[in-house]
Amino acid sequence: MTFTEHLGELRNRLIKSVVAVIIGFAVAYSAHEHVFQAVARPILTALRNHGIPALQALQVTETITVYLQLSLIVGIFLASPYIIWQIWAFVAPGLLERERRVVVPIVGGIAAFFVLGVVFCYFVFLPMVADFLVGFTLKTGDISLIPTVQKTFGLTVIFLGVFGLAFQLPLLIFFLTLMGLVTHKKLLAFGRYFVVLAFIIGAILTPPDPLSQTLMAVPLTILYLVGIVFSWVAGLMKTDQDATKVKVILALVFLAFAAAIGTSAWLWQKGMARPSTASLFGPKTILAARLDSRTPVGNEALRHVKRGFSNAELLLGETVVSQERLASSIYQKGHKDCVDLVDEDWCLLAGSKPLKVKGQENIERHGLKLVIDSDSPASLFLAKECLSRFVQGQVPGWMVATVAPSQDGSLVLQFQFEPGDATQELVQRILAKSDELGPKSTSEAHKGANTVLDDGLERIAAWARGELIESKDGFSVMGGPGLIGRMLGEFALAAISRCRD
């Protein structure tokens, strides 16, 4: 081919690559909100665990800019196999057969180690560091944290990229050994100095705190040790004629390293997951509440609920209330002075253990599973037997109340009932009562509507001051952590009292 023909082929392949990126960008942007939630999940989870429900946008264009940038990055990632193929198709004709056999493993190794670095950062490093930094910032109570969309996106992408590049170290050592610049014996002798160098690199590339520095330095040191093994294998390749044996050793070393990364990510995520509460409820459960008092809304709700358990010593943390007809029980996760431990996670502080559930039929039928699986900082379930103490006439089969963040940074208390005619009638009655009260204060409404405020659901209608929002099979109300926590906490306390006998 002439030089002009080569330029023409390069132009065609560039155009095809750009088209592939545009298609990937369109696919990513079609689900940009879900993509952002997935990418920023480690930091968002840490923020919500410390009572910060949502990110802030300081500029009008900040959110759309981040969505466009993220969609472009994801678009390039989706199109990368096709782009690599186009590059390979352009350069392969100019390579010797021996060179072609070398390029494919190199490209595959670079991609594989980059993915391992991203996996370790996403599932281990970011969750641990974000939780530590957010807690460190807020622990005195004198400093408020206002995380922005742009900063969260930038921090996540930078760390993912840094770890992806750092995990190329074993490959770099492998090729340096093939070139004769280093040997595994020299690397072993340099190991003690590399540990110091790893902590220096960690201090430069991570936030200025010991935890993030250590979490960067330790993987680098492990990567260096893996690189020594790769260097040893590279030495075998230069001296051993049995290529198959060397390839098997190299593959086994990589698989062992990948398995270690995958296991560490799985174990860390398992440790971070909210413990199951299924064992705390029985077939006769008529009330269940799950509150995380480490969050402002959960703490405010628990402040009211614990009045029903005056003899229980409650600490900050996950708290679960389970109630049958004649007795209530309260549990906390990891209580330091636990005497009665349930399923290695939950400490029974007051009450008695429920009957064991045989299968999940009761949970599914009553909607209790919505609370068991909820990641809400505060949630409440009432079965029909308990809900009937608040509702006259037709009663829905169950009710679930959950707290979730809204887009403007406030909280939403969502009430959901079992679908049916009874729910439609009840929701319309509560909405009408809310409209009747309008924007009055609770005290003003109380003066003219005592019978209304004696009912838990209608008390919420009064607190909402005409701002209840109708939703499918329920309604919701928006507010700050104090108001939402008080509404849910007082309603739960009323339910514990009314449904106990």
Q: How far apart are CA 427 and CA 417, in angstroms?
A: 9
CA neighbor of 390 nearest in space, from 459, 439, 310, 485: 459
Tell me what the pLDDT averaged over the chain comes to.
Answer: 81
Residue where one domain finishes, among candidates 226, 254, 272: 272
Answer yes or no: are the C-beta atoms of 289 and 492 closer than 8 Å: yes
Q: How far apart are CA 270 and CA 265, in angstroms?
A: 8
Answer yes or no: are the C-beta atoms of 46 and 134 closer than 8 Å: yes
Q: How far apart are CA 457 and CA 399, in angstroms?
A: 11
Do 318 and 234 reside in the same domain of the chain?
Answer: no
Do 134 and 183 reside in the same domain of the chain?
Answer: yes
What is the per-residue pLDDT across 268-312, written as a single tens digit (0 to 9) for each? 877 666 666 766 777 778 888 888 887 788 888 888 888 878 766
pLDDT at 447: 43
Helices (H), 273-335: 296-305
CA 70-53-431 angle, to 5 degrees, is 115
Helices (H), 367-480: 369-372, 384-387, 421-437, 442-448, 450-453, 456-464
Which residue is it, tokens 């665990």? 49
Side-by-side strand order, sheet with 287-292: 341-342, 346-350, 328-333, 318-323, 287-292, 378-383, 398-405, 411-417, 474-479, 469-471
Do 489 and 385 reside in the same domain of the chain?
Answer: yes
Amino acid, res. 371: V
Amino acid, res. 261: I
Do 29 and 91 reside in the same domain of the chain?
Answer: yes
Residue where one domain finishes, among candidates 219, 253, 272: 272
What is the per-residue pLDDT across 109-140, written as a single tens digit (0 to 9) for each? 889 999 999 999 999 889 888 888 888 887 77
Do 56 and 96 reside in the same domain of the chain?
Answer: yes
More confident residue, 224 or 359: 224
CA neighbor of 456 nearest in space, from 484, 498, 485: 498
Do 370 and 231 reside in the same domain of the chain?
Answer: no
For helices 126-138 and 210-239, the axis angle rounded to 10 degrees is 160
Based on the structure, what is the number of domains in the chain? 2
Do 395 and 252 reside in the same domain of the chain?
Answer: no
Q: What proportion of the chain, given as a percentage, has pLDDT over 70?
A: 84
Answer yes or no: are the C-beta atoms of 69 and 158 closer than 8 Å: no
pTM of the predicted model as reported, rounded to 2 decimal places: 0.70
Do 381 and 236 reside in the same domain of the chain?
Answer: no
**pLDDT over threshold 90, residue 20:** yes
**pLDDT over threshold 60, residue 359:** no
Q: How far is CA 168 from the centre of its chain?
A: 27
Do 427 and 474 reside in the same domain of the chain?
Answer: yes
| Mean pLDDT (whole number) for 46-50 | 79
- Residue 289's SS3 state is strand
What is the per-residue pLDDT across 151-177, written as a single tens digit (0 to 9) for each? 999 999 998 998 999 899 998 998 888
Do 127 and 146 reside in the same domain of the chain?
Answer: yes
**pLDDT over threshold 60, residue 357:** no
pLDDT at 409: 62
Q: Binning pLDDT at 50, 70 and 90, where does residue 238 land?
A: confident
CA neighbor of 283 nearest in space, from 354, 371, 381, 367: 354
Range of the domain at 224: 3-272
Question: Residue 129: in which H helix or E strand, if any?
Answer: helix 126-138
Q: How far apart are CA 55 and CA 74, in angstroms?
A: 21
For helices 421-437 and 456-464, the axis angle rounded to 10 degrees is 40
Residue where one domain finishes, among candidates 231, 247, 272: 272
More confident residue, 215 or 91: 91
Answer yes or no: are the C-beta atoms of 316 and 49 closer than 8 Å: no
Beta bridge mates, 467: none
**pLDDT over threshold 50, residue 362:** no
**CB-count exposure of residue 397 (10 Å: 0-12, 13-18, 19+):** middle
Do 246 and 291 reside in the same domain of the chain?
Answer: no
Answer yes or no: are the C-beta atoms of 414 and 401 closer than 8 Å: yes
What is the per-residue pLDDT across 386-399, written as a single tens digit (0 to 9) for each? 888 887 778 888 88
Do 267 and 287 reside in the same domain of the chain?
Answer: no
Q: How far apart are CA 215 and CA 218, in angstroms?
A: 6
> Number of H helices and number of E strands within the chain?
20, 10
**pLDDT over threshold 90, residue 46:** no
Question: Residue 226: in which H helix or E strand, if any?
Answer: helix 210-239
